[in-house]
Structure 1
Amino acid sequence: MRIAVDAMGGDHAPQAIVEGVMLAKKDFPMIEFQLYGKESEIRKYVTDETNVKIIHTDEKIYSEDEPVKAIRKKKQASMVLAAQAVKEGRADAIFSAGNTGALLAAGLFIIGRIKGVDRPGLMSTLPVMTSDAGFDMLDLGANAENKPEHLVQYAILGSFYASHVRGIKNPRIGLLNNGTEETKGSELTKKTYELLKAESDLNFIGNVEARELLNGVADVVVTDGFTGNAVLKTIEGTALNLMAVLKDSILDAGLKGKLGALLLKDSLRGLKGKMDYAKYGGAVLFGLKAPVIKTHGATGPEAVAQTIRQIYTMLDSHMVEELVAQFEEKKKQEGAFSINEKLQKKVDK
């Protein structure tokens, strides 16, 4: 297995990225890591060169760069070179903590979509308060607008990920809506509901409300990119503010509060761990011909190592190859149906 790593992407690159790779190397000696970026900077943090290739480039994409322009103009940027390696078959997956929009553009324009997937979606595994299982949600912002057919494709993609990577048998698919009733929602959600209900291969459980997401109401939740991004940022903001308020309350409570916090230290650490979505790995740009994984810009070495574990599982399960086969078969069936429909119309005439 070969993973192309944008070593210069992220707030703490290349240190956090390379240190994370070094951590992961201990568990995955069978992986070849291709580190794209400034060689002199990368080498400072490489402690073991076994199965490590450094591909030097001075060019990088910054967080403030306009994504599509950056991909087209910065041909020697670390992210672009890593994506090109995947396209040309020199690497099996790409990982970056850099500019999200640029990585989406690199995935779409360089690596390319799976035939039959109209709009790849951004998916993350988010925490559940009642267990360590988590749930997968997409689209989280790759597309501002979606059609019902796109959401059905997200359900298929999410179901594949939940079963192949997270080991969930017959994952429950929920459609995010403003009520659980079948008649609730916009035209988009109503039409999507009808299409999902007709998909016999999916374990569609119906509409789910946002307030139930962290209770584990579904294993996979699908929605349009605008709504998904808003929900994701709401969950992130709530988690950060809750921990900040809890900390301030303890500090403001004087000696009693601090003693209480000391006694509850393990429980509080467990609460923080439950709310840490980084433990599930990075966000997947789903629907492309190879795994494209994005982690938070401020990610640390442990989160990088966890993301590499995630990529290993995706590659080891041959998930992308199976997805390609399924969507190709689906396209053939749709094409056959379309031909039969036309023939029937001629017969009727």
Structure 2
Amino acid sequence: MLTDIAVDAMGADKAPDPEIAGAIQAARDLPVQIFLVGPEDRLEPLLKQALRGERLPIQIVHASEHIAMDEKAAQAVRNKKDSSMRVGLKLVREGKAAGFLTAGNTGAAMATAKMVLGTLPGVDRPALAAILPTAAGTPCVLVDVGANVDCKPQNLAQFAVMGELYARTVLKIARPRVGLLSIGEEEGKGNELTSEAFPLLKALPLHFTGNVEGRDIYNGHADVIVCDGFIGNVALKTSEGLSRLVRDMLRESLRKTVTAQVGALLSRKAFATFKRKMDPSEYGGVPLLGVRGVCIVGHGSSNDVAIKNGIRVAAEFAQAGLNGLIEAGLAV
């Protein structure tokens, strides 16, 4: 049985090319049916050309407007009532699609999702959860990474519940270790927010391991790390910049030092493996936890691989039934 996923075809920086190519890859490789949402007169000839006669479960759903990256989110959401974001999220609300993916304006995506889908009972603020690689070979969920720049202690407690359930149900981590991001491991370390959030997280029926530091994001000592959106976004963007730097330095070092043909071949294979592990496109996008439906937000620079993986993430999220578990978890 196919899982229906709506894709904002006008979201990415180079839209709609990566969305069309990614949708085709996903329809070939995954058990999904895709609704490409955007201007039909523009999408139809491009999709037809890309398919080259191939028959795949991809349909175009018309939306006459789209929200640009540089638009103010609140104003765009109010004024553009037929945007590709709103039309796609309506498909989710009406049960015609199991999930929605956009690589567009993050602020607009969050605002539109809250307006169209609403929030789950017990959720004050939805949160974005990024999946990051670790030295242990297991993923780490960092939540929030930008949806809420100012938070209250109870928001962090809700993020912990949602992140733990995501790690357990979607990432299949049996007993996720939950940490609170701070400037020291001791209970008293941190600012006013972390100090007040610590006892709230400690009282939750989770495997709370206490405070963790920035290095713990990547060493595998925690499966879920909770923070406010300001800190989380800085950590995420810093990580993206660092991974590019390491990748470029490694490539240059290999180019200069490897001369033997066999050594060069092995090094290229090792570099390809490293690049794949560090490539954000492999993770597809980050889920917006806490809304009544599945909404995945990708990076504006998403390529076709990122779109395909974002569709996969949306389908996995929908199949896990995570929202019902979050609602039950926050009701405890």
TM-score (norm 2): 0.92
Change (3 A) 1:258 1:107: farther
Partner of 1:171: 176
How far, CA to CA, are the matches of 1:234 and 1:315 in structure 2? 30
From 98, 101, 108, give the equivalent of 1:95.
101
Aligned residues: 325
Q: Secondary structure at the match of 1:82?
A: helix
Aligned residue type for 2:275: K
Q: Aligned pair 1:119/2:125, yes or no?
A: yes
Are the equivalent residues in 2 in contact too, given 1:96–1:295 (CA < 8 A)?
yes
Contact kept, 8 Å, 2:92 with 2:294, in 1: the verdict is no
Alpha-carbon distance between aligned partners in 2 of 1:22 and 1:177, rounded to the nearest angstrom: 43
Q: Deviations over 1:311-333 (max 9, x none)?
A: 11111111112222333x33xxx
Alignment of 1:17-36 (within 5 A): 17-29=19-31, 31-36=32-37
8 A contact 2:182–2:214 mirrored in 1: yes
Q: Which amino acid aligns with 2:285?
A: G
Q: Which moved more, 1:165-174 or 1:294-303?
A: 294-303
Name the counterpart of 2:231: 227
Could you tell me whether the CA contact under 8 Å between 1:127 and 1:276 is conserved in 2? no
Q: Return the letter of the residue paired with 2:119.
A: R
Deviations 1:51-93 (A, max 9, x none): 3321123311111111111111011111121122222333222
Distance 1:286 1:142 in 2: 10
Structure 2 counterpart of 1:53, which letter?
Answer: Q
Q: Which deviates further from its counterpart, 41-50 or 93-102?
A: 41-50
**Given the alignment of the two structures, is residue 306 of structure 1 paired with residue 312 of structure 2, yes or no?**
no
- Distance in 1 between residues matched to 2:88 and 2:310, nearest whole Å: 16
Q: Is contact 1:8–1:98 with CA below 8 Å preserved after alignment?
A: yes
> Aligned ranges for residues 89-238 of structure 1 at < 5 Å?
89-131=95-137, 133-199=138-204, 201-238=205-242
Q: Greater CA radius of gyration, 1 or 2?
A: 1
1:275, distance to aligned residue in structure 2 (A): 1.4
After superposition, residues 53-68 of structure 1 pair within 5 angstroms as: 53-68=59-74
Do the aligned partners of residues 88 and 263 (structure 1) sit closer, same or farther apart at CA in structure 2, a change above 3 Å counting?
Answer: closer
In the alignment, is the contact (CA less than 8 A) between 1:127 and 1:277 conserved in 2?
Answer: no
- Match of 1:228, as an amino acid? G
SS in 2 for 1:5: strand
CA displacement at 1:255 relative to structure 2: 7.3
Question: Which residue is equivalent to 2:9?
Answer: 7
Which stretch of structure 1 is more off in the superposition, 303-312 or 253-262?
253-262
Q: How does 1:188-337 map to 2 (within 5 A)?
A: 188-199=193-204, 201-251=205-255, 253=256, 256=259, 261-327=264-330, 329-330=331-332
Contact 2:28/2:56 (8 A) holds in 1? no
Identical-residue share of aligned pairs (%): 38
Note if contact 1:250-1:258 (Cα within 8 Å) is conserved in structure 2.
Answer: no
Query: Does the CA-based 8 Å contact 1:129-1:274 persist in structure 2?
Result: no
Query: Which runs of no fewer than 5 residues in structure 2 stay unpaired?
Result: none
Provide closer, same or farther for how the CA distance between residues 247 and 74 of structure 1 changes in structure 2, counting only shifts above 3 A. same
Q: Is the 8 A contact 1:128 1:274 kept in 2?
A: no
The separation in 1 between residues aligned to 2:291 and 2:187, in whole angstroms, is: 32
Q: CA offset at residue 260 of structure 1?
A: 5.7
Q: Deviations over 1:155-197 (max 9, x none)?
A: 1000110011010001110111101111111121111111111
What is the distance in 2 between the residues matched to 1:177 and 1:278? 28
- Secondary structure of the residue aligned to 2:114 is helix
CA contact (8 A) 1:4 1:36 kept: yes
2:324 is matched by which residue type in structure 1? E
Q: Which 5+ residue runs of structure 1 have no aligned equivalent?
A: 331-349
Corresponding residue for residue 334 of structure 1: none
> Which amino acid is 1:231 matched to?
A
Q: Which moved more, 1:61-70 or 1:87-96?
A: 87-96
RMSD over aligned CA atoms reads 2.0
Quote how far apart the aligned CAs of 1:258 are. Answer: 9.3
User: Contact 1:92 / 1:290 at 8 angstroms: preserved in 2?
Assistant: yes
Letter in 2 for 1:62: A
What code does the residue aligned with 1:298 have? S
Query: What is the SS of the residue equivalent to 1:264?
Result: helix
Task: Deviation per CA, 1:238-258: give whole Å up to 9, x if none.
Answer: 11112222333445x377599
CA distance in 2, matches of 1:226, 1:258: 47
Give the residue type in structure 2 aligned to 1:234.
Answer: T
